[in-house]
Amino acid sequence: MKRLYIYLLMVFIFCLNSAKAQYWEGDKWYTNPLGFEPVKLHTSMGFILPSVAVGICLLVTKKDTTQTHRISVYNETGFSWGYKYPYTFMPQNNTGIVFMLRKWLAIGVEFDIYLPRDKVNTTTGLAIRPFARFYPVSKEKWKMYFESGGGFIYLFDQFPQPTDQDNRLGTNWNGTTKYGIGTEIYYTHSIAILLGIRHLHISNGNTKGIERNPSHDSNGFFIGLSHRF
């Protein structure tokens, strides 16, 4: 297991070193936990890096044939608050399915509804996001996990809209990344309460140039229910 952690650390460092910093005017590294050009680091954090980590884990660990209750479904409600102007409030509802590959490793896919709200943005977004979960604590009644995943979102209006501090106009199609820490607290054999905190990023990865990629970043929490079969 110690060797596995070393492999994962090497992959993470490689992805960080391959990213080149690129900030819009006025952005600072400490206002964005990811802090780099979206295509090169947000994609790595949200999709490429978890995929590589899962692949390495499956290659260097043995399958647990005694494992049961591999599939679960969940629904959760979350709220996050943007920390860059115009400080967008982002309610969201997420429904997903999780498949346990190991006692400490799972993959899943999530379908999301986003409702960004601020003084210039009022729209709705629909998203799909594959993800991976790593469980450093996996007990029968309580589990803790780190989750990261990235996918695509379509917003009915172009997002974000221009403001008096950033005159760029976003796009309808964007990428989305969420990562965070969560818990599963089982109050029956199959039903669990979900609680956790997450970071949310939305941008188009400069696909139309940085002048069309104002992006959204927010931090918040979620609560929900999970049912395992």
* 47-60 residue pLDDT tens: 778 888 899 888 88
- Is residue 143 domain-resident? yes
- Is residue 38 domain-resident? no
> For position 45, what pLDDT does the model report?
63
- Is residue 52 domain-resident? no
> For position 207, what pLDDT does the model report?
85
Asked whether residue 11 carries a pLDDT value surpassing 50, the answer given is no
- Is residue 25 domain-resident? no
- Is residue 46 domain-resident? no
Average pLDDT of the chain to the nearest whole number: 84
16-30 average pLDDT score: 45
**Residue that has been written with the tokens 């290659």 in this structure:** 59
Strands 71-82 and 191-203: unpaired
> Over the range 167-188, which residues count as b (16 or more CB within 10 Å of their CB) and which as e?
ebebbeebbbbbbbebebebee
Asked whether residue 81 carries a pLDDT value surpassing 90, the answer given is yes
- Is residue 9 domain-resident? no
- Is residue 30 domain-resident? no
How far, in Å, CA of 58 to CA of 53, rounded? 9
Domain holding 165, by residue range, is 65-228
* 160-218 residue pLDDT tens: 999 999 999 999 999 998 989 999 999 999 999 999 999 999 998 888 888 998 989 89
What CATH number does the domain containing 171 carry? 2.40.160.20
- Is residue 10 domain-resident? no
> Per the structure, how many domains does the chain have?
1
What is the pTM assigned to this prediction?
0.82
> For position 33, what pLDDT does the model report?
52
* 113-172 residue pLDDT tens: 999 999 999 999 999 999 999 999 999 899 999 999 989 999 999 999 999 999 999 999
Question: Does the CA dihedral 137-185-224-218 come out positive or negative?
Answer: negative
14-39 average pLDDT score: 46
How far, in Å, CA of 26 to CA of 55, rounded? 38
